[in-house]
Structure 1
């Protein structure tokens, strides 16, 4: 049986879960991923996607030269002391404070009270121990006891992370007492009210409930501006710190950009030259082209280039130089929308293979196009991260501050690419405009808008921004309902199916559609099951099933009666039983959903786009 080695993660996890600054729980340790300036850049394979690179440069600056995959190690390394065994992403222990599981001793691991027992051949056994521990009852037969990471940390909205200030907390501020601290439990449950910290010297004690909420703001010191992944302190931090738990979701949120690899030129060869321009910009003759193509073919860094001759490639290079090779930064989704809705969408590009099919019977009045994407590629880039608040809880200047990936301004950015397939559905714009003018739809939108304003006001954000409107909520909800149906039959797990909603109506745009696609880093993303279900006879059946299932939710009547204007939430008639999907599948974190805009519900039968027949 194949077993995953301790500390091994997928490249995509370094973008979405365990990127720079994130904490990783190992069996006996907790570590933080170091900044990208500590990564081995030469082992990070470049990813060619000029449109994403242009958008990254618009955010981080023109000095960003490339998008690169995280370094990949060799799973077959036998000698753990060899150089090959050290290939990967560097980490270091964090938090510094450890707790003895036997006597409750609380101390930093570098204070000399705990000892590291390293096991290079069995890394899962590497741990800190409290040597000669006598336990809480002063046992006469001392023996080593495990020391585990302290489960409390301190973070702020600016992305800083620090050890919990145990001495400050126990003594109520700065104190000359440097006595040994003990962590112990009282009571039957592990609620914070029953978790205590006590000083052995002066007897000061405090329970952990006083470190959270308003009491926490009174009992915690100011933020020191610490970034443990780059070993730096920033003295000017003005954000209020708050206590968080080790492993909590709000400890690390990635800030990413994502694009689909779409044709941007008039020919497949010109597209390949543009995507891989870093390989061709120094080529001076047709003779050099052959060597470059041979290298690219061996490394598989630009699939499809081997289909063209050296003379064809050299001519394309000259055309690219004369026409300029820069890709302008603009809206990420609009170019995709233009390609997906083109009268003759491309069918022979290396990363984009599409096929138009008939609209399912019974949906001709509302659906104008169904496009099967038999091959597509999604490229994601990591720009930074936030803590405490997710990056989409603000926008523009009011967004949560983005923490840096390294000590200096980056000249490359971690990125991943995934291959898959998808189904694109375009809706009739006139039908949606007519539907949006109904009084019942305006009433639902008003309630969602009120909830949206209240939600943003609680977070000190501009309440006038960010409301997407009823069209987006309709498309988003229907996409979720269809994803749930597809996951039952297509052969993919639900977390591997993602959505991309095209519902922008601002600045002259009139988008009305969505793309449901797979996003897997291996062959799981190209099984063909999703495209098969996009054929008219299958898609029509699945749409009808999704609509029928949406009429009544297992949580009704509570679900259908939910009013976002009363609890200041971002969804109406939607819950885990009917409309929510995996967080990895949704582009909005299960927000801006309402079944009442799609099908009649027990509470509202008038606002549905699909009326019961």
Structure 2
């Protein structure tokens, strides 16, 4: 899982005083292991999804970066090279008697096009002006990283000095936007592990950032749920599996339109005791050509496919299917004690409940961005077939469908429209618009907030760690042909923790009423109210309103939108909150028992 994020391709990793950057998937070592998910691979524009190698099968390569290191004792700077690397040994200073460990410089050069490089320390040291000879006059640059005790704190107290010609310059202006441009340093258009022959032309001006800054690396990840028929056992474990394992199928898959096509199909059908149409169907499915062109699917198409599968559970399942869902009766109006009046009001908001007993989620690292996020660098930098890093996880969940008719009336109310329009205006000019694919509509903000409130409550009721819960929001746009209004709360983990059964069980009739009632009660009050509830701008770029860590925000790993586009008042406000009627009944019940 961590091979995708936070230690995915392009990420800088600090470990035991050393610093490395993860190389792209074309440089992965060891046995090639792929994930059987052709439709999902085609959706993400890849020919195959590649699993990170297990420790016994290979390794993920990491490149030492920054290459400029310094000694904490004598302060001598050294540019480390690949040729100096020795397996199992750390870089040590060659100028000190005790050979202490060398420390990586904490500054790196990045550009908006995603390129990463070392800071040109030699040029910087010789650009001080009036402190010594020019760089072209210094035949041999030996640098020293000094701490000036005569100067106060900050970057002014740090200086890089040439020991040969005595030229030097402090770091006061190093992080200014045009600092590297003024010393004529241009972006080299590559990643640290790439050769100069792999560089591309880049017109972006690099800037200097601390290597641990959050803007140095933005992973671009995506996920999809494995849906029927791909998730059916008969597809991945039955006939299809036998056909794929046939030695002739590899030849057919490599050259599906070659002169041997018909003969290969005939051989496979005869050996596996299937008809030729089945072989062709399996081949087309593995090539990603069955039905609609999966490679042209957008995020909305993927969401619609998942919506259709979730809202239409099948009657029967094989025990080994990877997508098992079932309808659950909506809680009856009686049998809930004091909460009986609340249930009737819940029916006006929630129209259907589906329990997901098992699902398989495929998570993919499409690439990464840096600094201004202008361009996405793909996780596969090779020129041949496209592979993307991916992992598969299994889990369970609860799917809530909201009443479409009531929701349409609600999202036309003037206060609702105004609040959503404010968020939409801020979102359009923010950095989040570069990676969040959904535009903030009243429906999206409402469903997203409900998902967060439910996750916070389910973390208590289902017994799962809050960071293991995830959300999927199904919110159609006004011009969509398929109305969608649903929330899937699920857990997906790389081991058995994701399928313990506690989450799906929380969606059963006997427990769901209590869960929703507790969610509304918790959402009504925030420890930071009235400040939080009356806030018109919270979070990055003001992309949330009444939502803070005390009431609505969840773990970063749980949210698909970076904990923004949230507004608690759209759920519980006395005037325009979508859940105001069941909340009012709940308040009345609580008042009657006091």
Same fold (TM over 0.5): yes
Instruction: Determine the C-alpha separation between the residues in 2 that align with 1:553 and 1:420.
Output: 31
Please give the per-residue CA displacement for 1:532-566, whole angstroms capped at 9, x wherever unaligned: 21212222212222221112222233322332399
Contact 1:99-1:183 at 8 Å conserved across structures: no
Residue 247 (structure 1) aligned with residue 229 (structure 2): no
How far off its partner does 1:511 sit? 0.8
How far off its partner does 1:597 sit? 0.9
- 1:228 corresponds in structure 2 to 192
| Alignment of structure 1 residues 476-491 onto 2, 5 Å | 476-491=448-463
Residue 440 (structure 1) aligned with residue 415 (structure 2): yes
Instruction: Determine the C-alpha separation between the residues in 2 that align with 1:499 and 1:253.
Output: 20
Instruction: Determine the C-alpha separation between the residues in 2 that align with 1:18 and 1:312.
Output: 44
Residues 1:40 and 1:218: Cα distance change in structure 2 (over 3 Å): closer
How far off its partner does 1:170 sit? 3.1
How far off its partner does 1:423 sit? 0.9
Find 1:365's aligned residue among 340, 348, 359: 348
Residue 555 (structure 1) aligned with residue 537 (structure 2): no
| Alignment of structure 1 residues 170-569 onto 2, 5 Å | 170-172=125-127, 175-176=135-136, 177=138, 178-184=141-147, 186=149, 191-214=154-177, 216=179, 219=182, 221-232=185-196, 234=199, 236-264=201-229, 269-270=234-235, 278-279=244-245, 282-283=248-249, 311=273, 316-317=278-279, 320=282, 326-327=289-290, 328-329=293-294, 330=297, 331-342=301-312, 344=314, 347-348=317-318, 350-360=321-331, 361-362=343-344, 363-389=346-372, 400-455=375-430, 467-505=439-477, 506-564=479-537, 568-569=541-542
Please give the per-residue CA displacement for 1:515-534, whole angstroms capped at 9, x wherever unaligned: 11112111111111111212
5+ residue gaps in structure 2? 129-133, 250-263, 332-342, 585-594
Instruction: Determine the C-alpha separation between the residues in 1 that align with 2:188 and 2:98.
Output: 37
Residues 1:275 and 1:344: Cα distance change in structure 2 (over 3 Å): same
Residues 1:574 and 1:203: Cα distance change in structure 2 (over 3 Å): farther
Instruction: Determine the C-alpha separation between the residues in 2 that align with 1:287 and 1:462.
Output: 47
How far off its partner does 1:318 sit? 5.7
Instruction: Determine the C-alpha separation between the residues in 2 that align with 1:189 and 1:346.
Output: 73
- What is the number of equivalent residue pairs in this alignment? 535
Please give the per-residue CA displacement for 1:183-232, whole angstroms capped at 9, x wherever unaligned: 32658996445443334455544443412244646556321212123334
Instruction: Determine the C-alpha separation between the residues in 1 that align with 2:122 and 2:231.
Output: 66
How far off its partner does 1:325 sit? 6.5
How far off its partner does 1:282 sit? 3.4
User: Residue 569 of structure 2: SS of its match in structure 1?
Assistant: helix
How far off its partner does 1:408 sit? 2.2
Contact 2:9-2:22 at 8 Å conserved across structures: yes
- 1:39 corresponds in structure 2 to 28
User: Residue 32 of structure 1: SS of its match in structure 2?
Assistant: strand
Contact 2:363-2:390 at 8 Å conserved across structures: yes
Contact 2:356-2:399 at 8 Å conserved across structures: yes
Residue 606 (structure 1) aligned with residue 545 (structure 2): no
How far off its partner does 1:67 sit? 1.7
- 2:78 corresponds in structure 1 to 107
Please give the per-residue CA displacement for 1:423-464, whole angstroms capped at 9, x wherever unaligned: 1111011111111111111121122123223426xx99799x
How far off its partner does 1:335 sit? 0.6
Instruction: Determine the C-alpha separation between the residues in 2 that align with 1:579 and 1:40.
Output: 43
Residues 1:167 and 1:325: Cα distance change in structure 2 (over 3 Å): closer
TM-score (norm 2): 0.80
Contact 1:583-1:590 at 8 Å conserved across structures: yes
Contact 1:352-1:376 at 8 Å conserved across structures: yes
Instruction: Determine the C-alpha separation between the residues in 2 that align with 1:566 and 1:335.
Output: 32
Residue 51 (structure 1) aligned with residue 20 (structure 2): no
Contact 2:38-2:288 at 8 Å conserved across structures: no
Moved more, 164-173 or 468-477: 164-173
Residues 1:144 and 1:571: Cα distance change in structure 2 (over 3 Å): same
How far off its partner does 1:407 sit? 3.5
Instruction: Determine the C-alpha separation between the residues in 1 that align with 2:200 and 2:232.
Output: 53
User: Residue 114 of structure 2: SS of its match in structure 1?
Assistant: coil
Residues 1:497 and 1:185: Cα distance change in structure 2 (over 3 Å): farther
- 1:79 corresponds in structure 2 to none
Contact 1:97-1:108 at 8 Å conserved across structures: yes
Residues 1:92 and 1:423: Cα distance change in structure 2 (over 3 Å): same
Please give the per-residue CA displacement for 1:395-435, whole angstroms capped at 9, x wherever unaligned: xxxx6332452332434332110011111111011111111
User: Residue 475 of structure 1: SS of its match in structure 2?
Assistant: helix
- 2:12 corresponds in structure 1 to 23
Please give the per-residue CA displacement for 1:374-402, whole angstroms capped at 9, x wherever unaligned: 11100122222212246xxxxxxxx6332
Please give the per-residue CA displacement for 1:477-500, whole angstroms capped at 9, x wherever unaligned: 110111111112323222211111
How far off its partner does 1:262 sit? 0.8
Instruction: Determine the C-alpha separation between the residues in 2 that align with 1:358 and 1:432.
Output: 21
How far off its partner does 1:16 sit? 1.8
- 1:6 corresponds in structure 2 to none
